[in-house]
Amino acid sequence: MQVPLLDSETAIRFDEPVKLLLARDNRDPASWSISPEATVFEAIERMAENQSSALVVLSAQKLDGILSERDYARRAIVDGRPSRETRVYEIMTKSVYYVNPETSIEECMRLMTSRNIRHLPVLDGSTVIGLLSMNDLVAWAMNTLRTSSTSLIESYAPNRRGSLDRSLPARDSIASGLPNPMHVREPHLP
């Protein structure tokens, strides 16, 4: 049996711009950003409230750095800095990789993988308009793959009344010869 390849309508499009992901993101920017003057405790608290593992650090609405759980672990906990007294700017990552809204999803994945980073701010000019995580990109890929697979299956699979391709047997006749996994016979014990 020949397996059909994904066509252009059902193929995963990694060349799509990240602005498409951001369009689905309805989070308030306050949930993924913080001031460099805030305490590390406030930052960790915001991360916990928003189920996030990083925050963009904004100074006068401009990118100043990024603070991640990794930064907290390596620069606060390990160094014994008290989180209620330490300021975000003291432990944040100052050199930040970022992308623009037109950057492809593939390029974001490549950058994150090659640089071993988990978060990418998205800037439109000098304005931060979003924060992408590796989880966001993986979730997008999984959802796209699921949607593509469903479309592919629906276009080739038989419907309830029989097959779309009359040369294939109807679904019921295919399944009738197979054991039902829900009714497995238990072995007889003496």
Give per-residue pLDDT as tens, 69-99. 999 999 999 999 999 999 999 999 999 999 9
Question: Would 180 be classed as within a structural domain?
Answer: no
Question: Would 102 be classed as within a structural domain?
Answer: yes
Question: Would 171 be classed as within a structural domain?
Answer: no
Tokens of 17: 């711009």
Cα distances (angstroms) measured from residue 47 to each of 50, 62, 66, 67, 116: 5, 20, 12, 10, 20
Q: Would the pLDDT of 184 be above 50?
A: no
For residue 121, the domain's CATH number is 3.10.580.10
139 vs 77, more confident: 77
Question: Would 12 be classed as within a structural domain?
Answer: no
Q: Would the pLDDT of 170 be above 50?
A: no
The pTM assigned to this predicted structure is 0.70
Question: Would 99 be classed as within a structural domain?
Answer: yes
Q: How confident is the model at residue 148 (pLDDT cuts 50, 70, 90)?
A: low
Contacts of 84 (CB under 8 A, 6+ apart): 39, 40, 41
Domain with 96, as residue range(s), is 19-139
Residue 71 · residue 92 · CB < 8 Å: yes
Average pLDDT score over the chain: 79
Question: Would 10 be classed as within a structural domain?
Answer: no
- Split into its structural domains, the chain has a count of 1
Question: Would 119 be classed as within a structural domain?
Answer: yes
Q: How confident is the model at residue 151 (pLDDT cuts 50, 70, 90)?
A: low
C-alpha span between 148 and 157 (Å, rounded)? 14
Question: Would 187 be classed as within a structural domain?
Answer: no
